[in-house]
């Protein structure tokens, strides 16, 4: 697997709020802890998408490890079910939910786009919507993109052919 430079040319994600299906979801990247992003402060539910982050014993939050994803990898077969049964109920309870991966692009963008696919079925392209609302670098690999469109029970559109480095 190719090594990536997460820092070069990446916008830091330090817990900004993204609107999805009437809910606010807070997102970030643990790479940006030094810039003030701390998932243990101010959130009710902490959802790491990477195992590179280890919680401390500080904070009063619910920790949900059900959404760990491999860097640049695809989505598990039960991804839609996990989102519907575990993640979306937290949003419906109006909890402040934060999700994050390493830099806040691939896995974080994939989760946001997956939620758009589920909560906003009228949105034709959840990847484009995620990039417009959140970050142009969201969703980094073809495997992630294919998983997002699988949530919609669709194949990856031809318009994405050759558009991913990974």
- In the block, residue with structure tokens 């077969």: 77
Residue 6, in any domain of the structure: no
Residue 8, in any domain of the structure: no
Residue 3, in any domain of the structure: no
CATH of the domain at 63: 3.90.190.10
Residue 1, in any domain of the structure: no
How many domains does one find in the chain?
Answer: 1
Distances (CA, A) of 103 to 123, 126, 158: 26, 20, 27
Please name which of 37, 11, 34 lies closest in space to residue 26, comparing C-alpha atoms: 37
Residue 158 confidence (pLDDT): 95
Residue 9, in any domain of the structure: no
Whether the per-residue pLDDT at 103 is higher than 50: the answer is: yes
Q: Which domain, by its residues, includes 93?
A: 14-160
Residue 141, in any domain of the structure: yes
Task: Say what the pTM is.
Answer: 0.90
Span 134-155, pLDDT tens digits:
999 999 999 999 999 999 999 9
Residue 50, in any domain of the structure: yes
Whether the per-residue pLDDT at 84 is higher than 50: the answer is: yes
Span 25-72, pLDDT tens digits:
999 999 888 888 889 889 999 999 999 988 887 778 999 999 999 999
φ and ψ at 98, to 5 degrees?
Answer: -115, 135
Distances (CA, A) of 71 to 2, 99, 146, 152: 11, 15, 15, 22
Whether the per-residue pLDDT at 87 is higher than 50: the answer is: yes
Q: Which two tokens stand for residue 112?
A: 């946001």
Residue 156, in any domain of the structure: yes
């Amino acid at each position: 697997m190719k090594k990536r430079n997460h820092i070069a040319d990446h916008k830091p994600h330090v817990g900004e709020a993204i609107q999805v299906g009437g809910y606010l979801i807070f997102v970030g990247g643990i790479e940006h802890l030094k810039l003030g992003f701390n998932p243990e402060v101010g959130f009710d539910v902490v959802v790491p998408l990477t195992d590179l982050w280890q919680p401390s014993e500080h904070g009063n939050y619910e920790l949900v490890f059900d959404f760990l994803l491999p860097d640049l990898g695809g989505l598990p077969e039960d991804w839609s079910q996990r989102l519907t049964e575990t993640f979306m109920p937290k949003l419906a309870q109006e909890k402040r939910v934060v999700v994050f991966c390493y830099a806040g692009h691939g896995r974080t963008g994939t989760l946001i786009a997956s939620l758009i696919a589920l909560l906003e079925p009228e949105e034709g392209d959840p990847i484009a919507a995620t990039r417009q609302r959140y970050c142009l670098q969201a969703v980094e690999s073809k495997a992630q993109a294919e998983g997002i469109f699988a949530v919609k029970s669709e194949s990856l559109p031809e318009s994405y052919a050759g558009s991913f480095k990974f």
